[in-house]
Structure 1
Amino acid sequence: MVVSLSLTLFQKKIPLRSRLALVRIEGPILDSRDIVEEVKEYARDHSIKAIILRIDSPGGAVAPSQEIYEEVKKATAAKKVVVSMGSIAASGGYYIAAPADMIIANPGTLTGSIGVIMEIPNIEGLMSKIGVTTEVIKSGKHKDMASAFRKMGVEERELLQGVMDNVHEQFIRAVAAGRKLKVEDVRLIADGRIFSGEQAKTQKLVDELGTLEDTVKKTAELVGISGEPDLVEKKEKASIMELLKSRFPKELTDIFPTLRIKFLYTP
């Protein structure tokens, strides 16, 4: 008991060096859980003086992008959050960067693409050719809206466009709030167009141009760390189960056509 107490007291006297955390967000944004948990953990860790988000993503699903955005915004209340953009940080990839304290992009980074997209396949012609028909039993006339097995009606298109316009407006407001810009100014460039990092700086969508190494140095300066900072990064687990899971869709909706709204840049 005495030994345990002595060790505890001794450990408390050991000063922890100031560290920076690096969170990598790569590929399509399909789920938010791991990123949210990682950002939350670093925000609570007093030995972590700032969080660097390395974003290399074309965007993805709306809800996960919004959840990451909110967690990044919360983290900025506890410590500095700085974004380093890789090859691409567009649409949802830009959305999650917007609330950070500073955004640094490479001159040739593809970013922006402030917009929303919904792609609905229509396989009615194919089904007809192979002699397959579908029978639908529904509780309301719009219950099978955006079905892949028939042509979309005018009223359905108007309803879906209304949803798209609303989500697009959410995107615009989120960027304006995160970047401290006027909503009207963001709306002028929120037509889905992409920018190079250099162009984005002119539009005030990013703050500075630089590499990941430049971002680490800049972040260290912002929080008063002199010399080479300790950089903390979680290592990805590569278990057999995770490798298998990565080869198969998580949900049946990844296989069959379904209704999805995405913050996604699709060249």
Structure 2
Amino acid sequence: MPWPWRRRSRRAIARIAIEGPIAGPTRTRVVKALEQVKQRQCPALLLRIDSPGGTVGDSQEIHAAILRLRDSGCRVVASFGNISASGGVYIGVAAEKIVANPGTITGSIGVILRGNDASRLLERIGIRFETVKSGLYKDILSPDRALTEAERQLLQELIDASYGQFVGAVARGRGLEEQVVRDFADGRVFTGAQAHALGLVDALGDEEQARRLAAELAGLDPEHSKTLSFGKPPRRLGRLLPGSRLLGMLHDFLQLELATSGQPLWLHRP
């Protein structure tokens, strides 16, 4: 006999929110929540995305976990909030349907990799690095020197390969030809209305409209179906203080910068 919570789950819509930059902690939380939704046998998932994107690997793992959930029979609808760009788009295209606000900032399909050339500053203050390495490219993107042309070409090939993965995922998820995606996947951003015209989203509307669509796809009554939240991010005590939201955003930005320096990113950087 099924547990009572499982019977309730089968009549409810699951909800998972992805907010802020996509990196290790977000990936861990969201993938775990997706597995819980699968175990609870929820018939539908509302995936709320409000993110500028983040690291490539973390975005890919969440994308793969969503596809596994869909394979189990769960209907997945993504709702794009204020911004769902770059890695946020990559995650979103794993959903069966996407709903965006007309003014949502989305797109920014592409890859970026940044390093820091501080060689002139280090020379001015009299600091010099001594490097012993096992291979020609072992210290690529080292901050004490500029890139060589061979290194730049090597990194461009890495970026191009990652870009190809991104374009392929968008094409498969949205039922578009890859060349069609490449025509607009040059890093530019769109409003939700523009994305709808391009085929990146299925409908324009708010989170409530996305919830109702998820209910309809799962054969539930949109008027009376309940929503169960999974994978809520831990609450910070500091959020109660004035200006805490701005400080939280600054913390997330600095953490991402420090943790991902030298990595290819699916991230919108205004």
Instruction: Please tell me the TM-score bracket, short chain as reference.
Output: 0.7 to 0.9
Q: CA deviation at 1:217?
A: 1.5
Q: CA deviation at 1:258?
A: 3.8
Structure 1 counterpart of 2:77, from 82, 87, 90: 82
Residue 53 (structure 2) aligns with: 59
For 1:67, give the aligned amino acid.
E
For 2:143, give the aligned amino acid.
A
C-alpha contact (below 8 Å) 1:105/1:210 kept by paired residues: yes
Structure 1 counterpart of 2:123, from 128, 146, 153: 128
SS in 2 for 1:136: coil
C-alpha contact (below 8 Å) 2:101/2:204 kept by paired residues: yes
How many angstroms apart in 2 are the aligned matches of 1:260 and 1:10? 46
For 1:238, give the aligned amino acid.
R
C-alpha contact (below 8 Å) 2:77/2:214 kept by paired residues: yes
C-alpha contact (below 8 Å) 1:120/1:257 kept by paired residues: no
RMSD over equivalenced CA pairs, Å = 2.7
Residue 26 (structure 1) aligns with: 19
1:31-54 Cα deviation digits (max 9, x unpaired): 2111011012102212x1101110
How many angstroms apart in 2 are the aligned matches of 1:252 and 1:195? 27
Which stretch of the first structure deviates more once superposed, 225-234 or 164-173?
225-234
Q: Which runs of 5+ in 1 are unaligned?
A: 1-8, 241-245
Residue 149 (structure 1) aligns with: 144
Is 1:264 paired with 2:267? Answer: yes
How many angstroms apart in 2 are the aligned matches of 1:208 and 1:262? 28
Q: TM-score, normalised by structure 1?
A: 0.87
1:122-157 Cα deviation digits (max 9, x unpaired): 111111111111000011111111111101100000
Residue 104 (structure 1) aligns with: 99
1:169-193 Cα deviation digits (max 9, x unpaired): 0100011111121111111111111
C-alpha contact (below 8 Å) 1:35/1:68 kept by paired residues: yes
Structure 1 counterpart of 2:218, from 219, 223, 230: 223
Q: CA deviation at 1:255?
A: 3.9
For 2:225, give the aligned amino acid.
P
Residue 240 (structure 2) aligns with: none
How many angstroms apart in 1 are the aligned matches of 2:69 and 2:164? 24
Structure with bigger helix share is: 2
Rg larger in structure: 1
Q: CA deviation at 1:252?
A: 9.6
How many angstroms apart in 2 are the aligned matches of 1:258 and 1:135? 21
C-alpha contact (below 8 Å) 2:23/2:256 kept by paired residues: no
How high is the sequence identity, in percent, across the aligned residues?
A: 38
C-alpha contact (below 8 Å) 2:77/2:213 kept by paired residues: no
Q: CA deviation at 1:56?
A: 0.2
SS in 2 for 1:76: helix
Q: Residue 172 and residue 24 in structure 1: after superposition, are their counterparts in 2 closer, same or farther (change >3 A)?
A: same
Is 1:237 paired with 2:230? Answer: no
How many angstroms apart in 1 are the aligned matches of 2:262 and 2:103? 33
Equivalences, count: 254
SS in 2 for 1:96: helix
Q: CA deviation at 1:76?
A: 1.3
Structure 2 counterpart of 1:202, from 191, 197, 211: 197
Residue 244 (structure 2) aligns with: none
Structure 2 counterpart of 1:168, from 163, 170, 173: 163
Q: Which runs of 5+ in 2 are unaligned?
A: 238-247
SS in 1 for 2:43: strand
For 2:46, give the aligned amino acid.
I
